[in-house]
Structure 1
Amino acid sequence: MFLGVILMFLSLGCQKKTEIPERLWYTKSAKSWHEALPLGNGRLGVMIFGSVAEEHLQLNEESLWAGVPEDPFPENIKKHYAEFQRLNLEGQYPRAFDYAMAHLAVSPTAFRSYEPLGDLYLYFGHNNPKNYKRSLNLEKGINTVEYEINGDKFVRESFVSSKYNAVFYHFTSVDKEEVECYIRFERERDIRKYVNADNIICVDGQIFDDPEGDDDNQEGSGEGGYHMKFSAHVGVKVEDGNIIAKGDSLVVSGTNDFTVIVSSVTDYNPDLMNFDRTIDSEKESLKIMETALNTPYQQIKEEHIHDFSSVYNRVKFHLGENPKDTIPTDKRIKNVQKGGNDNYLTQLLFQYGRYLLMSSSGFRAVLPANLQGIWNADMWAPWESDYHLNINLQMNYWPADVCNLSETLKPLSNFMVRLTEKGKTTAKKMIGSEGWIAHYSTNVFGRTIASGSTKSSQVNNGYCFPLAGAWMSLTLWRHYQFTQDQEYLKDTVYPVISGAVEFILDFLKENSKGELVTVPSYSPENFYIDPVSGKRLRNTMAATIDIEIIRDIFDACLSAEKILSKDKLTKRIHEVLVKLPSIKIGADSTIQEWYEDYEEIEPGHRHISHLYALYPSNQITKATPELFKAARTTIEKRLSGGGGQTGWSRAWIVNFYARLFDGNECNKHINGLLSGQVSSNLFDLHPPHVFQIDGNLGVTAGIAEMLLQSHENKTIRLLPALPKDWKDGEIKGLCARGNFIIDIDWKDGKMETVWIYSPKGGKCRLRYQGKEKEFSMKAGEQLKWANF
């Protein structure tokens, strides 16, 4: 059983602040995709441009992927992989790389992309609007466009309903001015469209992967042919007026109020991690459409607002008295770019991360949020919009539990369970292990063999990071720590983490010092200079992050076996733990990134993987003072070398400084993100101008970490990294490990009251500025701590 949402106990005790709707808003329409506003119900995503003359809705369906399931194993992989390991173990790194290129790299090295569903256009012919305003209400999950033409007011609102599983776009002429609207659906390729007898636009699609066509991956992305099928329908509901077909489009006329509805289904089966020809996507999509058309719009809207806001409102965050909402979002961002500090924009950024996670991994979602959540306009997305397991997918779910969005982990949990089954075959073929493995990137078809856009990337980023799946598994363990759901631990978490541990136990090799090390290994995407050959390399042995991950997953497995009264792996783990290398401090007083103290190629590299032990792990804390000090020096060195150049890397730095209890540095990097690494719709950007959702979700986690930490020995730290600019505020509804829900308010930089609610009961130790208090709570009990 999967524990859904952590229950929220509302109105624990914080004083209610004057609230204004949390929203993004603008005084002009979007001119590009990065200015449009996102909506989603986990399965369907839409970007709304808000154009007056011709509205544009760019559409996505979470499972619409090109390609087929492929795990291309090289011949004699077990033999060649063993030799690759031996050469790395002996320190023959250039030779090891060359050997892997000759015997392990195999085409297709990569897979195909997540694709958009299509584009819906609504032509109104309205021009020269006055009093234009478009907005995204985060609490309600509704996009609104308002404007006037010759004194007549028009309102358009849109949302994606969870209950009715469709996109809704409602047009109203407030002054009852009749309009004519021309509606068409477009997609670059792979569809047939027509209007049926009920005046519904029908879209029949099947992805054709042209074996002779363009391929973004130099060494191939898999076999060509006709693959996933999909369908979409566009219907219109109008009380008074006319709907007629014009070719494969619709014309609505003689009305001042109508609703456009979009439904879509693919034949992807998540249980198979493949498309399934027994699924009739056309029939299923039409069924959704018919239900939506036969239900009153106002009812659908009210149910959507209830469903969406009941999740969103679990967490309230205010910094000081909220200002009057008179500054458009894009102008707020520009003000921060000029060096300003905007607490309301920070508050908005935090809640926007929660909104994006809800909308891409909540409600109807059956797949995890990918590199772009569910929002992608490109037929071949950057990095295929895949699941990167060397930090990006992990970062997507950093805020899930602490920000009271527990249920968003359900798609990820289910995906990981299925991925382990694929990974068992790979582990068996590679090293004869009964465990499972997944390399650094995967897709909806569950590829677990190493991948990469080129053969060198397949070796460097793929084969050299066999612990990617183990790292991802720890997200499930952390979810258990928050929820304390033992059924979830037994049925889901333990099988996943124990399989990852089995692989690791079979994978480790003893080096000349008698230590057990990982070979091959790498520090994600960073090069070092080999002191023997002088070459720039990635492959090595026992990179620091590997050993840190192993210690965490061993600890998780030991804890799980104790809780579940199992002893399957406990003895073997204890025997291995004493032989693992320790975290080292290098000659420059930083945490050593590799087993040897190598010179790195990029001192400001975007990945800071050797600080995994600081965050998201808890191996470096104040209880390890030398490492704690070295961690700060490590960050400073990265930043002095130009680090933090990607949005997600900057977000990681916010989390690092939160763990170092430096709120002012946290706020500096939040403002750094806002001032140069987000688009006007607050989407996180990867250079040169690519949306990646991980930065949004990572900074939301970082802000939560500034206010509440629960990773240290069953202790909950309150306001551990409060910046001076956050003088007054409140946070309501954050969650701590042990299944506690916390409300905190503060004034003049000092905490006034903390309220704690325990859905399941248990002991809770709170710490604030050297003071501690322990509570023993019953299930459903609420308590407060005040008078500091």
Structure 2
Amino acid sequence: MHETTLWYEQPAANGNTALPVGNGRLGALVFGGIEHERIQLNEESLPSLGDLFIEQVLPGPSKNYRRALDLNAAVASTAFTAKSTRFTRDVFSSAPDNVIIVRFHTDTPGSLNLKISLTWGEGEDATECEIKAVGRDSLALRGQIEREGTAEGMHFACFVRARVEGGLVKATDNTIQIVDATLVTLFLTAATSGQGRDPEAALATLEAAFHRPYNELLARHQAEHQRLFRRVELSLPTANPKVPTDQRLTLHPNDPGLAALYFHYGRYLLITRSRPSGLPPNLQGLMHYWPAEVTSLSDCHEALFDSIESTIGGIRPLDAACLCQHLFEHWRFAPEKQKHLRRIYPTLKGISESLLTGPMPGASMDLQITRECWENTLALAQMLSVDDAFQSELERALEKLSPPHISHAYAFYPGNAITLRQNPEQAAALKKTLDTNLSRAWLLCLAARFEDSEAVQEHLSVLLTQGNGNFGATAGIAECLLQSHAAELHLLPALPPDWKSGSITGLRARGGITVSISWEDGKLTRATLICANTLKVPLRVQGSAETKLVTLPAGKTVVITGAVADR
């Protein structure tokens, strides 16, 4: 993998610069303190679970500090030297074992002296909370907080256990004291009574992990993470890989290598925050999921789908309709998933019925969302050959609905009711009147759809400097390299001018196509296309005036070199 490590020469000043780890259910922010470390904990149904504090006694002043997040390994590390001893802490959150691991090691035997404490993060919201030592090496945090809709509130539990080699360990009150150790491994699990679960089950989870060797835990964690992370790789030239990440952002914000790192970081964050059978980050942050399909992380979409189906009746129909776009887009990227169509049709039908019986939307974005929901529902009904009368009702409603209006960008991205070539006048008008108060990440995605390479580079530079918009930016970077929303496959539609050479592998296009692309001197040199089913698709390269129809035989790789005609 190319350039997948963020690194710094000082601890994090706050939560915005702390390094995140997560498995979709358990997460942590690692601050990287030297003698005073803080690891902020969260559980999917309890975002502010608490903090793990670590006091470390050192033999002298520290030097040669390095704090890093390896996106490929999914490990946050902190390392420094005191006198002649090198101290290292590694933190990861394992999906297979459902546990957070904190590993301390040193090159001088018997030099680890630690005091571990656990604190509750919700403060006065807890109606009761208890932290106590369990046995000689463990801490247990238990409590409950008031939650609307529950009679007794939500119960929670968090457990920490230390495995120590070459030293002494003793747990008292709310701390674990470790003296003269060579290796220390902390195991942390947590759970709540949300979704009808038993928080005490986390204790059995901890015990199962505790008896696995560390190298096995790390290997299991990395195998599952890399199964998702390594599906896509973006490689861009970099001039400053030996400069700390924060300094690069200040001194060299236009370094293409930073954009690649940014792209990988967005995918990493989605993997850490959203896994099947879990809860999505939140239903408001839909930009979280913009890169899911195109960057080959459709598995991470599943948590959103489950949440939509379980909460759809309790939210405003227009908000539900916006959510439903994700359900339909998932099928467009994987049309072989016929079961998905049958799964989502009742949800889309229910939302469409609510929109039909409710007041006619007035705002342009509301109109665009309504139209999109009805069109998607109608397409599903037709594909499944069901509900003829309802199909007719939707067709009549669509005829009465105003056409897409230019005053809001939703129909251009993430929607596709307006496209650059099928609706050139509306697209041109939208670009001229574009609301610059939209988020910078959204503006990046829109610039990619406009095939405006200069604007893409400008928005990316600002986003890198600001350090936000990770998910939307990842989607925008993918969008400038590959587009498939306009019933065609478009390679390198908005390649930034500074990205003279590079490659990307494993992107996904609608129709179920996996795409890899290479370019030199700003021009396509080679692309490979592979699809599970036989498909004919119009192919466009770098804004060419014409498309060429390309046949993709099922399971066979088709190679595009230079001009579309060379295959």
Q: TM-score range by the shorter chain?
A: over 0.9
1:774 aligned counterpart, secondary structure: strand
2 CA distance for matches of 1:757 and 1:310?
A: 19
2 CA distance for matches of 1:696 and 1:44?
A: 20
Amino acid of the structure 2 residue aligned with 1:122: I
Q: Is the 8 A contact 1:319 1:347 kept in 2?
A: yes
Q: Which runs of 5+ in 2 are unaligned?
A: none
Partner of 1:583: 404
- 2:522 equivalent to 1:739: no
- 2:549 equivalent to 1:774: yes
**Post-superposition shift, 1:583?**
3.4
- 2:3 equivalent to 1:24: no
Partner of 2:245: 329
CA-based RMSD: 1.8
Partner of 2:443: 653
**Post-superposition shift, 1:316?**
0.7
2 CA distance for matches of 1:224 and 1:506?
A: 32
Q: Is the 8 A contact 1:155 1:174 kept in 2?
A: no
1 CA distance for matches of 2:522 and 2:161?
A: 54
Partner of 1:227: 153
Partner of 2:57: 125
After superposition, give the CA deviation of every residue in 1:257-312 in whole Å (9 maximum; x if it has no partner). Answer: 1101110011111xxxxxx3xx4312x11101101111101110111112112211
- 2:483 equivalent to 1:483: no
2 CA distance for matches of 1:343 and 1:48?
A: 27
Distance 1:157 1:775, change over 3 A: same
2 CA distance for matches of 1:760 and 1:131?
A: 54
Q: Is the 8 A contact 1:152 1:177 kept in 2?
A: no
Q: Is the 8 A contact 1:20 1:325 kept in 2?
A: no
Partner of 2:262: 349
2:549 aligned counterpart, secondary structure: strand
**Post-superposition shift, 1:344?**
1.1
2:344 to 493, 508, 512: 493
Q: Is the 8 A contact 1:54 1:125 kept in 2?
A: no
Amino acid of the structure 2 residue aligned with 1:333: L
1 CA distance for matches of 2:371 and 2:149?
A: 39
2 CA distance for matches of 1:732 and 1:490?
A: 28
**Post-superposition shift, 1:552?**
1.2
1:200 to 128, 135, 138: 138
Matches within 5 A, 1:387-466: 387-388=283-284, 392-393=285-286, 395-420=287-312, 422-423=313-314, 438-439=315-316, 466=317
Amino acid of the structure 2 residue aligned with 1:556: N
The percent of aligned pairs where both chains have the same amino acid is 33
Q: Is the 8 A contact 2:136 2:171 kept in 1?
A: no
1:711 aligned counterpart, secondary structure: coil
1 CA distance for matches of 2:20 and 2:142?
A: 25
Partner of 2:90: 157
1:556 to 358, 365, 376: 376
**Post-superposition shift, 1:707?**
0.6
Q: Is the 8 A contact 2:72 2:226 kept in 1?
A: yes
Q: Is the 8 A contact 1:159 1:168 kept in 2?
A: yes
Distance 1:342 1:575, change over 3 A: same
Partner of 1:668: 458
1:37 to 8, 19, 22: 19
- 2:561 equivalent to 1:786: yes
2:485 aligned counterpart, secondary structure: strand
1 CA distance for matches of 2:36 and 2:57?
A: 7
**Post-superposition shift, 1:226?**
4.5
Q: Is the 8 A contact 1:661 1:720 kept in 2?
A: yes
Partner of 1:145: 78
After superposition, give the CA deviation of every residue in 1:34-63 in whole Å (9 maximum; x if it has no partner). Answer: 121000000001000111102111000011
1:287 to 204, 217, 228: 204
After superposition, give the CA deviation of every residue in 1:561-580 in whole Å (9 maximum; x if it has no partner). Answer: 12111134210011111111
2 CA distance for matches of 1:265 and 1:779?
A: 45
1:697 aligned counterpart, secondary structure: helix
Q: Is the 8 A contact 1:402 1:734 kept in 2?
A: yes
2 CA distance for matches of 1:776 and 1:720?
A: 21
2 CA distance for matches of 1:761 and 1:143?
A: 43
Q: Which runs of 5+ in 1 are unaligned?
A: 1-18, 65-114, 210-221, 270-275, 371-386, 424-437, 440-465, 509-516, 519-541, 585-590, 593-609, 679-683, 685-694
After superposition, give the CA deviation of every residue in 1:394-443 in whole Å (9 maximum; x if it has no partner). Answer: x21110000000100111111111113x34xxxxxxxxxxxxxx22xxxx
**Post-superposition shift, 1:147?**
1.0
Which stretch of structure 1 is more off in the superposition, 33-42 or 125-134? Answer: 125-134
2 CA distance for matches of 1:280 and 1:787?
A: 58
Partner of 1:92: none
Partner of 2:393: 572
1:504 to 355, 359, 366: 355
Q: Is the 8 A contact 1:168 1:261 kept in 2?
A: yes
1 CA distance for matches of 2:177 and 2:377?
A: 61
**Post-superposition shift, 1:159?**
0.3
2 CA distance for matches of 1:761 and 1:254?
A: 64
Amino acid of the structure 2 residue aligned with 1:356: L
1 CA distance for matches of 2:136 and 2:386?
A: 60
2 CA distance for matches of 1:658 and 1:485?
A: 28
Which structure has more relative contact order (CA 8 Å, sep 6+)? It is 1
Amino acid of the structure 1 residue aligned with 2:87: F
2:340 aligned counterpart, secondary structure: helix
2:547 aligned counterpart, secondary structure: strand
Which stretch of structure 1 is more off in the superposition, 623-632 or 483-492? Answer: 483-492
TM-score (normalised: structure 1):
0.68
2:231 to 314, 322, 326: 314
